[in-house]
Amino acid sequence: MKLLYLLVLFIFLISMSGLIDGSANIKSHMPKCGPSIEERLRNHFDGYEIRPELVINNNDDFGGVRSKRRTTTLANHKIVWITMATNKDVETSIRIDNETIPLKGKVSMNDAAGDRRIEMDLVNDWNQIKLYKLGNHEIIGITLTPLMCTGLMCSVSAQLLYDVNTKTKSFFRRISD
């Protein structure tokens, strides 16, 4: 029995000798783990994120509801924001490189937060314009917001995505928190 005990102790010490270096510190034989799943997902999506080439923020105070034209240049694209105000109605249109896009009669493609689609003439001002380059395509993204916010529409906005090559227009509704 003593012999068996010594044999087990001897095998144990031999197997432990690989875990101990010359300074009697135990070496770690734990496998080195790579990044966590959160880090791997963040790295993956950061690598595929489409970043805009150019961003323009609207810092103008429109000064209430009145007829007005505002022109903005985005790289080699001319964007004109046209607001026509009458006593009863406000109609807004956007001209991108001589292509006029009236907002009246347009609705968003999606229902935001399980609610309903939004009529685009309710979001009749712009907050930000971005230019994206995707291969040979240029996409202009415009964030639309209400011109006047009385409390009911403050959290509603929409996005207009405009493909410069095909002149395709897509409107998406968004509700901010």
Taking only the tens place, the pLDDT of each residue in 85-108 is: 887 778 889 999 999 999 888 888
- Segment 46-52 mean pLDDT: 84
Indicate whether 141 belongs to any domain: yes
- Segment 46-53 mean pLDDT: 85
**Banded model confidence at residue 163, pLDDT cuts 50, 70, 90:** very high
Residue for token digits 């985005």?
74
- Segment 112-132 mean pLDDT: 80
Q: Which strands sit side by side in the sheet containing 68-74, from one edge to the other?
A: 68-74, 77-85, 90-96, 99-102
Q: Which range marks the domain in which residue 117 is found?
A: 54-175
The count of domains in the chain is 1
In whole angstroms, how large is the CA radius of gyration of the chain?
Answer: 31
Indicate whether 143 belongs to any domain: yes
pLDDT above 90: residue 139: yes
Question: Distance between terminal CA atoms of the chain?
Answer: 74
- Segment 118-123 mean pLDDT: 77
pTM passes above 0.75: no
Indicate whether 37 belongs to any domain: no
Indicate whether 28 belongs to any domain: no
